[in-house]
Amino acid sequence: MLPVFCKVYSSLPSSEMSASFPDVGQFCSHASKLMVTEIKKRASNQSTVNASAAIVDFLEADALDESKSGGWMLLTTLNLLATGGKNLIEAMTACSLPSTLVKCLYLFFDLPPLPEATACSQQQQLTPCEQRALLQRTFTQLLVRLCSHTEPAEELVQKNDLSLLFGAVCSPCANHNVIWRKAAADVLTTLSRYGLTYTVRQYIHKEACIKQCVNGIMKAASSPLDTVEMLVTICCFLKDASETNQNLLDDFWHANGYQRITQIILNLEEMDVQDWETATDNLICLAASLATCGCVQLKPSDTVANSICQIPNFTVPQPAGKGLSIRNIRAFHVLEEVFTKARTSKLCTSVLTAIFNIYKQDHANFFILDSQRTLSHLIERLYVREPSVQRQCLEILEFVVFQLRYVPMNELSSITKLIKTCNSARCKIIALQSLLKIAKCHEVLKDAYREVGLLDLLVACLHAYAHQLKESSELLVQQQPTVSRACTNMLAEQRELGALVMQLLAFLLTTSVKNASVFRDAGGARCAHNMVPHDECRTDILGVVQQLVLSTASEDDMGCLLGLMHTAPPTAIRLKTEVLATISAVLQVSSYNYVYKY
């Protein structure tokens, strides 16, 4: 009867099964009982190797002798019946079919290797490997269809066999049996979507199944890529399981699961493993995905709205939810820790991309994570990173200002600290380029830069640059041919750094009396006037002086410029021309004409 049933119902919709076959329920029960009996008979009093081989021999199709394919026909029949709806699933469950199949799946990890592949005869349509793959697909499909309902999952709990499924996901196995671990992963993922009743959740928590997986993953993997596959499975399970309850996520944390992810990513970076970049990218995406898992929606920090410098009309965005908002800060910490300990720019780039995507997918995420100061910590470590990584990190800061319309005081303090302590001119240049771009977003940024001490730091940088110019000029006067040329033609990076300092200072002084006062008190005005005679920086430093004069209407500053016209030698035509151009630009501003009486 089994071949007839398979032939008829393999081509008909499952909805017609009950209508055209009234006794299908009884037939399903008999088929399920028969399968359970046959499997138990072959597994009884046998070693795991012999039991698994006997069961597979029973279940596999035999193209040469259909009389030996009874188990295959039975399996195919049950696979069709599993599409027939809830009543048939309950009938199968009542016969303990789900738990029996899970026990089989666990036994299959001990299957002996297949014989060497040989060419198929005309009668034999499939090779042994192809037969095994066909069995695996059909066996897995049946279990997946069963676990798409709640009753089989609870039957696994009653028989204490659900832990076997977790064990199968992270158990060591020979390469020829990896297909069964993938089968277990598919079944567990399906169960997480459809079978997580309260009873099932409580069982997983009580039996420490998550801890079992985490510990097993670290012991079982024969290769790093196997480890990644196992972690992906358990994390996908957690993602589904955390939609209504936090307990299993907490179990993962208590089992040091996040530390394991971090450790594996860093280990992959150290190894010469093929496709390691793809594997690490997958794990980083996994950590980012876990960061949005959980049933408790986190809210933005209350301190955000009380920032001392705010762009007008700024409002704190509300979380979007639905897998977009941060709900699991422990998982997010994986990204920060990996960035801190990473050795390659590639890994750093992948982490920054993941963090940036988290901020972009829900604008509230940056503010939810505000108390963690993630971006501040990343910025403070930029001095040990490559320029490409530095730029990428500061692009995130620019996004916060331009897209979120928020003034990140903590991050601005960190970038100020970075410039102050970093010995790399290139790193400082990249930081100043970003700061100059950010400053142009809104006038309030000028006040923010002053509040975080950046203005004072820029004046100190100006003094340092002036000192370099002075040393260069003195060596030129001494006419030391071996060194004067190198000193006169200062390193391109130092000149670029000095130019950026002056350009940023000029912008911060524009229409800002407070900034001009701080600049003057820090000795910036005197330093700027002393730098005007130097050809290397005259254009930029005159821009600073011009904005200083316009901001404060200072007669002293204008007097210094006019005095320079008298003290400069007659041959300094270029100097006098540029100073006159600056004076002319100042006098053309009506507000200054009104105050300054020349």
Residue for token pair 């941060």:
326
CA distance 105 to 188: 12
CA distance 117 to 96: 36
**The two structure tokens encoding residue 14:** 């499952």
**The two structure tokens encoding residue 175:** 């390469």
Provide the angle, in degrees to the nearest 10, between the axes of the packed helices 387-402 and 345-361.
Answer: 10
CA distance 443 to 512: 9
Segment (H or E) for 410: helix 409-421
In SS3 terms, 131-143 reads as HHHHHHHHHHHHH
The answer to whether position 203 is within a domain reads no
CA distance 175 to 415: 50
Amino acid at 108: F
**In this structure, is the dihedral angle defined by the CA atoms of residues 142, 148, 153 and 155, taken in order, positive or negative?**
negative
pLDDT at residue 594, rounded to an integer: 43
Amino acid at 189: T
How buried is residue 251: exposed, middle or buried, by Cβ count under 10 Å (0-12/13-18/19+)?
Answer: buried
Three-state DSSP state, 569: coil
CA distance 369 to 329: 8
**In this structure, is the dihedral angle defined by the CA atoms of residues 164, 165, 169 and 175, taken in order, positive or negative?**
positive
CA distance 91 to 80: 14
Rg value, the chain, Cα: 36
CATH code at position 590: 1.25.10
Q: How many CB atoms lie within 10 A of CB 119?
A: 6
The answer to whether position 507 is within a domain reads yes
CA distance 280 to 450: 41
The answer to whether position 190 is within a domain reads no
Number of H helices and E strands in the chain, helices first, is: 34, 0
Contact (Cβ atoms closer than 8 angstroms) between residue 214 and residue 256: yes
Which of 249, 431, 230, 265 has its CA nearest to residue 346? 265
The answer to whether position 49 is within a domain reads yes
CA-to-CA separations, 106 to 144, 193, 545, in angstroms, rounded: 15, 21, 79
Three-state DSSP state, 101: helix
Q: How many CB atoms lie within 10 A of CB 290?
A: 25
Residue for token pair 């996994």:
286
pLDDT at residue 558, rounded to an integer: 82
CA distance 10 to 133: 20
Contact (Cβ atoms closer than 8 angstroms) between residue 241 and residue 270: no
CA-to-CA separations, 296 to 82, 182, 243, 319, 325, in angstroms, rounded: 36, 31, 9, 12, 10
CA distance 391 to 276: 24
Contact (Cβ atoms closer than 8 angstroms) between residue 17 and residue 84: yes
pLDDT at residue 216, rounded to an integer: 87
Which of 145, 154, 252, 151 has its CA nearest to residue 200? 154
Q: Alpha helices of 147-256 — where are they, by DSSP H?
A: 150-158, 162-169, 178-194, 198-206, 209-220, 224-241, 247-254
pLDDT at residue 226, rounded to an integer: 83
The answer to whether position 387 is within a domain reads no
Number of residues assigned to the chain: 598
* Residue 100 CB-half CA count within 13 A: 22
pLDDT tens, the chain, 598 aa long? 787 787 777 777 777 787 778 888 899 999 999 999 999 999 998 999 999 999 999 999 875 555 567 899 999 999 999 998 899 999 999 999 999 999 999 999 999 998 875 555 555 567 888 889 999 999 999 999 999 999 999 999 999 999 999 999 988 888 899 999 999 999 999 999 999 999 999 999 999 999 999 998 887 656 777 888 899 999 999 999 998 889 999 999 999 999 999 999 998 888 766 677 888 999 999 999 999 999 999 999 888 878 889 999 999 999 998 889 999 999 999 999 999 999 999 999 999 999 999 999 999 999 999 999 999 999 999 999 999 999 999 999 999 999 999 999 999 999 999 999 999 999 999 999 999 999 999 999 999 999 999 999 999 999 999 998 888 766 655 655 544 454 444 578 889 999 999 999 999 999 999 999 999 999 999 999 999 888 889 999 999 999 988 887 667 778 888 888 878 787 778 888 888 888 888 888 755 454 444 4
Q: How many domains does the chain have?
A: 2
**The two structure tokens encoding residue 120:** 């198929």
pLDDT at residue 367, rounded to an integer: 95
The answer to whether position 235 is within a domain reads no
The answer to whether position 533 is within a domain reads yes
Owning domain of residue 482? 453-595
pLDDT at residue 526, rounded to an integer: 92
| Phi, psi for 172 (deg, rounded to 5) | -70, 150
The answer to whether position 98 is within a domain reads yes
**In this structure, is the dihedral angle defined by the CA atoms of residues 332, 337, 340 and 343, taken in order, positive or negative?**
negative
